């Protein structure tokens, strides 16, 4: 930041320290809401939804049906990433972030107001699925939009630190949702929980929506979007409009020098590099935060509270890890940090899994906390800024959102299923360590092939690769 009053991230558009603070809080809060909404739903699907929305089937089938409604949200996320990503690149980041926060917040609140199967029959689960689709459609662009906005607001020397606040939102939302459900389970009887208690977390999210909407309505547009040479009166011109404007004003030379790289660059390389960077974090997250909890409780016959507590402690430590990695990335560069974290994950995969599978309770918890912070949260901190820097400003929102969602589906959704199959077939824990190594190796390879992006001018229309 140039001084205590103003910051000039890129170009000539100025933003005050208050503007930057508001953007940071808005990005953090929106991401926290996204992860809180999804964690609220995932816990509700596992605990109560099979009983109140699918009561006429066996418990096992009811649980499968409840989890299926959880899964449809991920299907909608990719569609939302494409639709809102293109809108954000064309009409601005702020407009999209207002729409996505409303879609997520309203749909989450309405879930808490849904009538149950006992009241309206089959329409109850049908409405639940519809709200999940709306929620997922908005969420598909929320974290990408918040990442883009923060990266484009941040002063280049501190871009990694500022952008890492998006990653902190994931911890905040997950912890808030888990805490709310822990309180409900502790103070309510099962009858009270099924009758009305499950609704409270969803209805309370409306308060966060109002605050988040107020923040975003008063948030100024990204200074990078306003400074883009292809944006006129707040709208990005199409290629045909740009060529017509250049011809009409006799500014062919200026447009050729300013716009040619962004308009004529062949797309694809930066996208696949970003997808590779995403793969390690998303894959490791699915293994550590999802699969390991169930594996430890069922296969290793350890009290489920132990791995759950380990994730809780690991998430709390993440409030230190995430900004620290952001600071180190600003100091030493994105590539060196990616190489260091992925190499560490690969080297520690077997020792950490040995601690988890064969060690004491303390060793198990330490192993999970380290795996979470090194192989998941540390990489997420880097991902928040590096993927934004890889893409040119003309298609940054779209490419970042789609890369995040495709990587999430391929790695996070498929990884736990594959891990379950391999551990069942081998009767051992070593496939989990092997998968951590493979996922991390994919990200390591992408980091080695990617250019260093630290300090890159984000107004540039072309991709970094």
According to CATH, what is the number of the domain 266-449?
A: 1.20.1250.20
Among 72, 67, 43, which residue's Cα sits nearest to residue 136?
72
Q: For residues 238-254, give the mean pLDDT.
A: 60
Which of 222, 201, 210 shows the shortest CA–CA distance to 93?
Answer: 222
How far is the CA of 91 from the CAs of 163, 352, 416, in angstroms? Answer: 22, 47, 38
pLDDT tens digits along 130-149: 888 888 898 889 889 999 99
| Band (71; pLDDT cuts 50, 70, 90) | low
CATH code reported for the domain at 17-156+174-220: 1.20.1250.20
| Mean pLDDT (whole number) for 66-75 | 62
Q: CA-to-CA distance for 377 and 371, rounded, in angstroms?
A: 9
Q: What does the domain layout of the chain look like in residue ranges?
A: 17-156+174-220, 266-449
Band of residue 280 on the pLDDT scale cut at 50, 70, 90? very high
Residue 87 pLDDT = 94
* pLDDT tier for residue 416 given thresholds of 50, 70 and 90: confident
pLDDT band at 10 (very low <50, low <70, confident <90, very high): very low
Residue with tokens 């092939």: 449
- Binned at pLDDT 50, 70 and 90, residue 62 comes out as low
Whole-angstrom distance, CA of residue 130 vs CA of residue 216? 26
Are the C-beta atoms of residues 465 and 269 closer than 8 Å to each other?
yes
**266-449 shares the fold of 17-156+174-220:** yes
Per DSSP, helices labelled H in 218-374 are 223-227, 239-249, 252-264, 269-285, 292-298, 305-332, 334-358, 361-372
């Amino acid at each position: 930041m140039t001084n205590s009053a103003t910051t000039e991230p890129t170009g000539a558009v100025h933003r005050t320290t208050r503007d930057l603070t508001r953007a940071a809080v808005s990005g953090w809060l929106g991401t926290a809401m996204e992860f809180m909404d999804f964690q609220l739903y995932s816990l509700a699907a596992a605990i109560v939804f099979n009983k109140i929305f699918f009561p006429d089937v066996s418990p096992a089938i009811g649980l499968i049906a409840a989890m299926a409604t959880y899964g449809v949200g991920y299907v909608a996320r990719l569609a939302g990433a494409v639709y809102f990503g293109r809108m954000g690149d064309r009409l601005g980041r702020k407009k999209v972030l207002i729409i996505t926060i409303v879609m997520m917040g309203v749909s989450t609140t309405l879930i808490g107001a849904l009538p149950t199967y006992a009241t309206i029959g089959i329409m109850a689960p049908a409405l639940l699925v519809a709200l999940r689709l709306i929620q997922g459609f908005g969420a598909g662009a929320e974290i990408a939009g918040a990442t883009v906005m923060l990266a484009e607001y941040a002063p280049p020397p501190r871009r990694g630190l500022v952008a890492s606040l998006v990653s902190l939102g994931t911890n905040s939302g997950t912890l808030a949702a888990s805490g709310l459900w822990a309180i409900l389970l502790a103070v309510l009887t099962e009858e009270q929980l099924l009758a009305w208690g499950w609704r409270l977390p969803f209805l309370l999210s409306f308060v966060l929506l109002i605050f988040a909407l107020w923040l975003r309505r008063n948030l100024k547009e990204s200074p990078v979007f306003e400074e883009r040479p292809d944006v006129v009166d707040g709208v990005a011109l199409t290629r045909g409009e740009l060529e017509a404007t250049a011809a009409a004003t006799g500014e062919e030379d200026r447009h050729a020098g300013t716009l040619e790289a962004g308009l004529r660059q062949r797309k694809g390389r930066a996208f696949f590099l970003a997808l590779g960077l995403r793969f390690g974090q998303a894959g490791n997250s699915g293994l550590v935060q999802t699969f390991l909890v169930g594996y430890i409780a069922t296969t290793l016959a350890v009290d489920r509270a132990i791995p759950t507590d380990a994730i809780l402690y690991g998430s709390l430590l993440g409030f230190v890890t995430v900004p620290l990695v952001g600071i180190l990335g600003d100091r030493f560069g994105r590539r060196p940090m990616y190489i260091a974290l992925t190499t560490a994950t690969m080297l520690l995969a077997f020792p950490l899994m040995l601690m988890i599978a064969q060690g004491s309770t303390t060793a198990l918890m330490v192993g999970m906390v380290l795996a979470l912070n090194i192989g998941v949260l540390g990489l997420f901190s880097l991902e928040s800024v590096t993927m934004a820097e890889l893409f040119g400003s003309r298609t940054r929102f779209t490419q970042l959102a789609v890369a995040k969602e495709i990587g999430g589906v391929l790695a996070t959704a498929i990884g736990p299923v594959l891990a379950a199959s391999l551990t069942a077939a081998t009767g051992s824990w070593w496939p989990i360590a092997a998968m951590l190594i493979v996922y991390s190796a994919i990200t390591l390879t992408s980091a080695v092939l990617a250019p260093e992006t630290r300090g890159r001018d984000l107004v540039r229309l072309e991709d970094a690769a």
